[in-house]
Amino acid sequence: MPEIIRVIIDTNHIISAILSKRGASAKLADWMIREDYFQLLISQPIWNEYCTVASWLIPEPKQHEKERILDVISFQAEWIESTIQLHVCSDLSDNCFLECAVAGKANYLVTKNIKHFPPKEYSGVKIVHIRKLLLVLEQMEKTRRDSEETKKYQKEKFHLDFCQNCVYLCITSEKPTPGHNARRALPPATGQRGLYAVRRGLCL
């Protein structure tokens, strides 16, 4: 699985995300701002459809949310200039999404209207329902978290193993006899002998 997935989002999910902050479409909108997981792809025809349909369907109380989400899309998305012309969707207006997906080497195209597109996959682009994409993103997040925890554990284990290979013994009597691998641990105080650390292993 790539470190960052490339995704096309059909207009119906953009409209749903604007209309409600709950549900799968809103969750997907939240993922859009996480550049380390998810790269949204759009083209000028897709952008035109987003804006046109939003102007028809979004009521006045939701205008601020419409502007916010469209601003996020405009800023975060990678703009694709496609010279590909396809005629494979049952709804001709959906061809621009697949054209952008193929030209932009998208991993997924997410839509509510699966039946309008070729079944399952086209030219390497998986055509999926939104819950499938959310599961992919959540699995990516879990895999990265587990990998970071494993690295942290390995680092801590190395440190523990390293220290367990060492034995420190501080003494205040005679300097260790020849043959001991020792190093002065603390400077001697007035009237006292020096403190030495006797070790075996690697630490000192």
* pTM, to two decimals: 0.71
If one compares 15 and 179, the residue with the highest pLDDT of the two is 15
**Does the pLDDT value for residue 147 go beyond 60?**
yes
Domains of the chain: 5-142 (3.40.50.1010), 169-199 (no CATH)
Q: Which residue has the tokens 């075996």?
A: 200
**Does the pLDDT value for residue 41 go beyond 50?**
yes
pLDDT of residue 156: 60
- Taking only the tens place, the pLDDT of each residue in 77-110 is 999 998 889 999 999 999 999 999 999 999 999 9
- Taking only the tens place, the pLDDT of each residue in 57-72 is 999 999 999 999 999 9
CA separation for the pair 45, 52 (Å, rounded)? 10
Q: Which residue has the tokens 């260790």?
A: 176
To the nearest whole number, what is the mean pLDDT of the chain? Answer: 81
| Cβ contacts of 122-129, under 8 Å, gap ≥ 24 | 122/88, 122/98, 125/8, 125/98, 125/101
